[in-house]
Amino acid sequence: MSKLHLWIFLILFLAVIQTGFSQVEKNHTDAFQINSLSGYILDHSPNIIQLIQGPTQGFMASWERQTYGKNEWERAYNYPSFGASFIAQDMGSPELGSVYSIHADYRFFFLKRQVSLQVGTGLAYVENPFHPEDNPKNYAYGSTITGSFYAGLHYRKDQIFNTPLGVQVGAFLMHYSNGKTKSPNTSTNNYGIQFGINYQLEEEFPEFKTEQLADFKAENIKFNFMFSSGMNDFGVIGLDNNPFYVFTAYAGKRLNRKSSFHLGTELFLSHSLKQYINYRSIAYANEGGITGDEDWKRVGLFAGHELFIGKLSLITQVGYYIYYPVKYNKQYYTRVGLKRYLTDKIFVSIMLKTHLAKAEAMEYGIGIRL
């Protein structure tokens, strides 16, 4: 692993920690964790078989801030913690090289708070991405900067022998993908085990607030309007990526404190699809089918769910193209992503749109809820 890159990411990680300490009112406790990671890459595509050469090795350094129920959503979710993590991994082959990532994450606790589920998402730096001459076998990572997702299930034992030290052991799953921002993008799914220690930074701990949750106030149906954009390509290596635009309108009904149901429609304007139509009409002119005059717009209907965690929410959606003039991927699609409310009405989002396991785009959006 490059020492220069490692130090750069460690400095950024410490900056994130400092920001967290300075911006949140003191009604919490903090801890620091270091974990050793050992695993394997899942063989999910024939394009990466030659890249799976050995076990992956790395470490994860994390800052964790424990909540105690000051806000109602904290009590509703059994006092979760949040924080930031820096992960460095050697992916087990010279073609893949090393990957360094920074995540924002949450931890949710079960079984008397001894078992925790940690989920995080962020950005990763790929040390050795695809290059047509220098690294032509790396079909997993087509760009230097890629998205990353971490999930881990841990058993924890804090404050062993009444000391600040504790231990944790568990399993993890790590996913690296640029969301088809640049091909190739076969991506990797890395799973394995982890073991580490944690250190509590405080000597005294607040009591968990146990005030009863206020009654949920039912809401009328809210109408949402959103604009999303980004860059992607249609999968041919060497061609430029292109902008796309998505105009979305949907109705949302808050079912309870945690959940909302969505139903809506959207218009897709993708210049990569326009380029795909032109490419197919020239490269496969003798096969018939696409002539080059086809419409490159698509219209979809979708249903979705929103899980509220304070001002942050997790979005899952499934959709179907009702106007689909060119066969391009599957006719149904899915999304998963995050939404952050800036005010009660204004929000921003980041979504990964896929057709089954095949990514189409990372969508960055802004919207209004009326």
Q: What is the rounded distance in angstroms from the CA atom of residue 222 to the CA atom of residue 250?
A: 8
pTM of this structure: 0.88
Kindly report whether the peptide bond that precedes residue 184 is cis, defined as omega within 30 degrees of 0.
Answer: yes
Classify strands 222-232 and 188-200 as parallel, antiparallel or unpaired.
unpaired
Give the tokens for residue 92: 């087990």
Q: What is the rounded distance in angstroms from the CA atom of residue 196 to the CA atom of residue 37?
A: 9
Q: What is the rounded distance in angstroms from the CA atom of residue 325 to the CA atom of residue 274?
A: 12
Give the tokens for residue 228: 């999303």
CA of residue 226 relative to chain centroid, distance: 20
Q: What is the rounded distance in angstroms from the CA atom of residue 157 to the CA atom of residue 126?
A: 34
Give the tokens for residue 305: 């769910």
DSSP state of 70: S
Q: What is the rounded distance in angstroms from the CA atom of residue 129 to the CA atom of residue 132?
A: 10
Q: Would you give per-residue pLDDT tens digits along the chain (370 residues)?
A: 444 554 554 555 555 445 444 444 467 899 999 999 999 999 988 889 999 999 999 999 999 999 999 999 999 999 999 999 999 999 999 999 999 999 999 999 999 999 999 999 999 999 999 999 999 999 999 999 999 999 999 999 999 999 999 999 999 999 999 998 999 999 999 999 999 999 999 988 999 999 999 888 888 999 999 999 999 999 888 888 999 999 999 999 999 999 999 999 999 999 999 999 999 898 887 776 888 999 999 999 999 999 999 999 999 999 999 999 998 889 999 999 999 999 999 999 999 999 988 899 999 999 999 9
